[in-house]
Amino acid sequence: MHDMVESFQISGTKASTTAGQTPVTIEESEKLPVGDYTVPDPRMTCRDVNVFYGDKQALFDINLDIGKREIIALIGPSGCGKSTFLRCLNRMNDIIEGCRVTGEIRLDNEDIYGPDIDPVLLRARVGMVFQKPNPFPKSIYDNVAYGPRIHGLVANRTELDEIVETSLKRAGLWKEVKDRLNHPATGLSGGQQQRLCIARAIAVNPEILLMDEPCSALDPIATATIEQLMDELHTRYTIVIVTHSMQQAARVSQRTAYFHMGKLIEVGETSQIFTNPRHPLTEDYITGRFG
């Protein structure tokens, strides 16, 4: 993907993309995405966010608001920077050596890169679910209890039991595991493991859930369960999901943001993005002419 970023000339003239793809015109002044990137009363605001891996710039001037209790899908060709952007939102990029983030990201109007912010506490507020389910090699119970324990959220075992049960219920897993809470989490199916990881993330009461292709390792039935779960969860949490599946983005999200070669090209209501994209690059992608 480095090559793609390098060959993308922001010149106001025809910019070459990778071989075989339609050349497009990008004006130098075109730093803001097409569509309204702001929302009233946002939960998070991202302004002029740039990300570098060493000398290599991976994201360029990203401006985007994340609304309260919305599901926003990040879509775009492989290597366009979706995961990089997602990791900016809970400072997961901090643990990647040589990665540098500039610009401003605020959560409830507080600069998350400010000196007073503890990244560990931030990641409890902005939880993350990864592509591949990654339960700890512990019991089902201990996986969910882990966060509340390390963050000191409970005073006694009864409170912890309650959090474990509530989180597993919200993740739609309680009925399947309530009789084997002390069994190893690794014995669960892939779809169950992913719901366990969601339960683990919500056990610390996050405000936002970041999901990086959460269904790509799952079969269609497990995927449908997770999508249904997202629909239920977003009445309580804000969800930002990276997905390679345009069908999934269309099914689960209210807004969609289209990334291309490190730039946010277009953002809007999901139905508008998929039926009436305004930028030719978005149109090329959703009609299958790109990627």
Ligand X SMILES: Nc1ncnc2c1ncn2[C@@H]1O[C@H](COP(=O)(O)OP(=O)(O)OP(=O)(O)O)[C@@H](O)[C@H]1O
| SS3 of residue 99 by DSSP | strand
Tokens encoding 201: 């993330």
Q: Is 282 in the site for ligand X (CB under 6 A)?
A: no
- Give me the residues paired with residue 57 across strands: 52
Question: What is the SS3 assignment for 16?
Answer: coil
Q: What residues are paired with 105 via a beta bridge?
A: 46
Of 58 and 241, the one with the shorter C-beta distance to ligand X is: 58
For residue 198, give the 3-state DSSP assignment: helix
Contact 54, 93 (CB under 8 A): no
The residue within the footprint of ligand X, chosen from 33, 35, 81, 127 (CB under 6 A), is 81
Cα(199)–Cα(237) distance, rounded to whole angstroms? Answer: 13
> Binding segment for ligand X among 17-25, 61-69, 81-89, 150-158 (CB under 6 A)?
81-89
How many residues contact ligand X, by CB under 6 A? Answer: 14
The least distance separating ligand X from the CB of residue 248, rounded to whole angstroms, comes to: 13
Stretch that binds ligand X, among 61-69, 76-84, 143-151, 232-240 (CB under 6 A): 76-84
* Shortest distance (Å) from residue 66 CB to ligand X: 17
CB of 131 or CB of 166, closer to ligand X? 131
Pick the closer one to ligand X by CB: 96 or 120: 96
The strand pairing partners of 258, in sequence order, are 75, 266
Rule CB under 6 A: choose which of 17, 84, 90, 193 binds ligand X: 84
Residue 53 binds to ligand X (criterion: CB under 6 A): yes
Q: Which is nearer to ligand X, 131 or 254 (CB)?
A: 131
Nearest CB to ligand X, comparing residues 29 and 78: 78
In the DSSP assignment, the letter for residue 68 is T
Spatial neighbors of 82 by CB under 8 A, at least 6 apart, are 74, 75, 76, 242, 259
State the minimum distance, in angstroms, from the CB of residue 6 to ligand X: 10
For ligand X, give the closer residue by CB, 75 or 140.
75
Least Å distance, CB 146 to ligand X, is 26
User: Contact at 8 Å (CB) between 142 and 148?
Assistant: no
Ramachandran angles phi, psi of 42, nearest 5°: -70, 155
* 8 A C-beta contact, residue 33 and residue 256: no
Select 66 or 257, whichever has its Cβ closest to ligand X: 257
Residues numbered 109 to 128 that lie near ligand X (CB under 6 A) are: none
CA distances 184 to 25, 99, 159, 230, 252, Å, are: 54, 35, 22, 25, 31
Pick from 44, 49, 58, 215 the residue near ligand X by CB under 6 A.
Answer: 58
Binding site for ligand X (CB under 6 A): 1-2, 5, 53, 58, 76, 78-84, 96
